Amino acid sequence: MQKQIPFMQSLLLGLVGLGSFIGLWHGLAVSGLILDVFLPSPVEVYDRFTTLLDRRFAGATLPGHLFASFQRFAYGFVLAALIGIPLGLLMGWYQLLDEIVSPLFDALRFVAPIAWVPFAALWFGTGIGGPIMIIFAGAFPPCVINAYRGAKFVDPRLIEAANMLGTPSHRVIREVLLPSSVPSIISGLRVSAGLGWQSLVGAELIVASAGVGYMMVQGQANVSTTTVMAGMVAIGLVGLALDSALRLAERIIQRRRGLEN
Amino acid sequence: MPRRVSIGFVTILVVCVIWYAVTTGFGIIPSGRFPSPAETWSAFTHVSGRGYGGGDLTLHVYNSLRLVVLGFLFAIVTGVPLGLLMGWSRTAEALINPIFLIIRPIPPLAWIPLAILWLGLGDAAKMMVIWFSAFVPSVINTYAGVRNIDRPVIEAAYMLGIPKVRFVSEVLVPGASPMIFTGLRLSLQASWTTLVAAELVGAFYGIGRVLNVAQQDLYPGMILVGMIAVAILGWGTTRLLGVAESYALRWNTAALAARG
């Protein structure tokens, strides 16, 4: 590994990197080597993005589509957390449950969340129920796995100490096991938010009549590359905001525990 | 763990019995919602014999598998060297990292409409999105792997005047390889998800195409067959990668022991 380079220099290099990436994109778009229909310039994408903020496309404005997407995401994500975290914790605490559920869970894990789309559409329709189920399918496994890890890898000395002092088992769960698995649960939530958001986009591309994914499919059908790209930007921004919020929560909890490294 | 295995076996058996009971036995779940074992079997013989959605099962499996393997290999060939470069050279890191930071939050699936606009509904568009979804985890984990190499190892190699080529092949790649394989496992998973999504959006052959046609035909048996096929393929390729990993890391007893 090379030596650290000074901060200013690395900032400068970063700007050069970003600048040449955007410059190359802009140059290719403006030069006419690639048809404008296929590769609009960054300026056009930005223009389209701002236009979509208050003009309807595919039934709603961009904020309207984002709201529809986010609402579905929130339902699916909360549902996954509400079911997944208790299941994972119980699997970590009770070996028999772990041995019963694990084989089923492992078998289902290999089904890509998106492969649930046909059944989701069949069972819950394409409005709000179907997409929620896909988000659930994407967000559920990380919730379970991380809660399980959190519960399973509690420092045994803590449990032994609690037992030695004669703590009743419900208090051991509430005051020892649960608090010590929180950091792992939060990391799991972050992973599952990412996967859930990604599954939502996939679901909206295939079955939905509103949402950013739907807007992008309509953009694609109308050969409006700027709309597609504006949708990608919006999806990226919301995903980034979600991840940052959960990252912040993770850091706050770790700091309160003195676990920060 | 014989206890674990036997309990697992019993669980699967019980689930199959319940499946039979609620569909065929008591008819609690109508066959329009979820297929019975017999319907699933008949869907399987249907797609593997007469064919369904434009071809028989072998053709669909072959197409999906081919796209995933090609896209995944292409991502390794491009992603791992870039990760090595970014891990090694601070200049390359400073130049490229910001571009990654702005592209990374966009989920790979969001590239599907753009890929279709650019390359149509054929194999090329799917290769592009699979490559993209597998590329990012390969780069990031390789990069982290290089950063995790013990400094004394690198300094010792330098002190002994190692030539550049041997430094890469004997220090950098082996040192980063446990993390590289972690990245590859994530890449493989992402490849399957992306492929299924891309084929559901539009394709001529492939498992996703089977799922898509079955959804439109309201054919639950075929949907289940498609999902089982996706699961088996995902499981099989992950196992293959695991075999490759333990072969490639057989020198690294610590990494193997940690994996168990």
Looking at residue A261, what is its pLDDT? 44
Nearest CA distance, A165 vs chain B (angstrom):
32
Domain limits, chain B:
57-259
Looking at residue B260, what is its pLDDT? 45
- Tell which wins on pLDDT, B8 or A261: B8
Chain B residue numbers touching A229 (CB-CB < 8 A): 114
Looking at residue A1, what is its pLDDT? 59
Give the C-alpha separation, A231 to A204, whole Å. Answer: 12
Which CATH fold would you assign to the domain B57-259?
MetI-like fold (1.10.3720)
pLDDT digits (tens, 9 = 90+) for B181-201: 988 988 998 899 999 999 988
Of A135, A23, A126, the closest CA to residue A79 belongs to: A135
Chain A residue numbers touching B93 (CB-CB < 8 A): 10
pLDDT digits (tens, 9 = 90+) for B11-59: 888 988 888 888 888 878 887 788 888 888 988 988 888 888 888 899 9
pLDDT grade for A82, boundaries at 50, 70 and 90: very high
Interface check for B94 against chain A (CB to CB < 8 A): the answer is: yes
Looking at residue B1, what is its pLDDT? 59
Nearest to B223 among A104, A118, A243 (CB): A118
* Residue B26 to residues A71, A251, B23, B252, Cα–Cα distance (Å): 37, 52, 6, 55
Interface check for B8 against chain A (CB to CB < 8 A): the answer is: yes
pLDDT digits (tens, 9 = 90+) for A135-154: 999 999 999 999 998 888 88
pLDDT grade for A161, boundaries at 50, 70 and 90: confident
Q: Is B128 exposed, middle or buried (0-12, 13-18, 19+ CB in 10 A)?
A: buried
Q: Which chain A residue is nearest to residue B152, measuring alpha carbons? A: A1
CB-CB neighbours of B124 under 10 Å:
11
User: In degrees, to the nearest 5, what angle opens at C-alpha A135 toward C-alphas A131 and A137?
Assistant: 115
- Tell which wins on pLDDT, B77 or B171: B77
pLDDT digits (tens, 9 = 90+) for A6-31: 888 888 888 888 888 888 888 888 88
| Test mutation, B193, B212, B240, chain A, max A CBs within 10 A | B193
Residue A77 has pLDDT above 80, yes or no: yes
pTM for the full predicted model: 0.85
Residue A62, both tokens: 């961009």
Contact A175, A224 (CB under 8 A): no
Nearest to B113 among A2, A110, A216 (CB): A216
Mean pLDDT of B137-157: 87
Interface check for A220 against chain B (CB to CB < 8 A): the answer is: yes
Interface check for B52 against chain A (CB to CB < 8 A): the answer is: no
ipTM of the complex: 0.84
